Amino acid sequence: MPQLIGEPPGRIAPVEELVNTLEFEGMAKRKLDSLSFALIAGGDRKAFERITFRPRLMVNTTGLDLSLDLLGRKHFTPIIVGPVAQTGRFHAEAETGLAKGAAGAKALIILPEKSSHAVGKAAGEASAGWWFQASPVTAPDALKAAVAAGCGAVCVTLANTGADWNTIDNIRKAAGVPLVLKGIMSPDEATAALQHGVSAIVVSNYVGEANAASTAPSPIASPAEVLPGIAKAVGGKLPILVDGGIRRGSDVLKALALGANAVVIARPAIWGLAAYGAPGVQRVVEILQTDLGRDMAMCGRPTLQSIDSTVVRIHKW
The answer on pLDDT for 210 being more than 90 is no
Question: Residue 104, CB half-sphere, CA atoms under 13 Å: how many?
Answer: 18
pLDDT in tens, 65-87: 999 999 999 999 999 999 999 99
**Backbone phi, then psi, for 149, in 5-degree steps?**
-80, -5
**pLDDT > 90: percent of the chain:** 87
Mean pLDDT, residues 216-244 = 88
**pLDDT > 70: percent of the chain:** 92
φ/ψ region of 261 (left if φ > 0, alpha if ψ in -120 to 50, else beta) reads alpha
Among candidates 250, 254, 252, 260, which has minimal Cα distance to 314?
A: 254
**Backbone phi, then psi, for 13, in 5-degree steps?**
-65, 150
The answer on pLDDT for 231 being more than 80 is yes
Res 132: pLDDT = 97
Res 214: pLDDT = 46
Question: Residue 6, CB half-sphere, CA atoms under 13 Å: how many?
Answer: 0
Contact 15, 279 (CB under 8 A): yes
Helix-strand-coil percent breakdown of the chain, rounded to 5? Answer: 40, 15, 45
Mean per-residue pLDDT over the chain, rounded: 92
* First and final C-alpha spacing in the chain: 24
Res 206: pLDDT = 79
Mean pLDDT, residues 5-24 = 88
Among candidates 109, 123, 75, 133, which has minimal Cα distance to 292?
A: 75
Contacts of 197 (CB under 8 A, 6+ apart): 169, 172, 179
Domains delineated in the chain: 15-207+221-311 (3.20.20.70)
* Distances, alpha carbon 127 to alpha carbons 72, 81, 121, 130, 239, in Å: 16, 13, 12, 8, 22
The answer on pLDDT for 207 being more than 70 is no
Instruction: Please list the residues that pair with 69 across neighbouring strands.
Output: 74
Q: At what angle are helices 278-298 and 21-31 packed, to 10 degrees?
A: 160
Distance CA 307, CA 296 (A): 8
The answer on pLDDT for 168 being more than 60 is yes
Measured CA angle at 73 (ends 238, 270), to 5 deg: 90
Contact 271, 81 (CB under 8 A): no
- From the centroid of its chain, how far is CA 229? 20
